Amino acid sequence: MSPKELLYIEDALNHEQDLKKSCTDLAGQLQDADLKRFVQGIADRQGTSYSQFYSLIK
C-alpha cells in the first residue's frame, strides 16, 4: 500500500472514532430516554464499524 493510501485509511478510522465519541457525548447529554438509546445505538454501531474496518487491515 502506498503512503497516501495508508493516510486515507488512517483518516477513515479517525472519522469512525470521532463519530463514536460525538454520539456517546451527545447521548450523555440527552434527557429523552428513547432518543438517548437511539443515539447510543449509533455510537455502538460506529464502534463495531471501526473494529470491523480495522480488522480488515491488520
Task: Let me know the angle formed at the C-alpha of 24 by 10 and 8, rounded to the nearest 5 degrees.
Answer: 10
User: Which residue segment(s) compose the domain that 41 sits in?
Assistant: 3-57
Cα-flanking dihedrals φ and ψ of residue 9, to 5°? -65, -45
The total of structural domains in the chain comes to: 1
The yes-or-no verdict on residue 55 having pLDDT over 80 is: yes
For the entire predicted model, the pTM comes to 0.82
The yes-or-no verdict on residue 46 having pLDDT over 90 is: yes
Q: Looking at residue 52, what is its pLDDT?
A: 92
Q: Looking at residue 22, what is its pLDDT?
A: 97
And the C-alpha cell for 40? 447510543
Q: Looking at residue 57, what is its pLDDT?
A: 83
Q: Looking at residue 58, what is its pLDDT?
A: 75
Report d(CA 18, CA 15) in Å as an integer.
Answer: 5
Instruction: State which amino acid sits at residue 30.
Output: L
The yes-or-no verdict on residue 51 having pLDDT over 80 is: yes
CB within 8 A of 24, min separation 6: which ones?
A: 40, 43
Report d(CA 2, CA 30) in Å as an integer.
Answer: 43
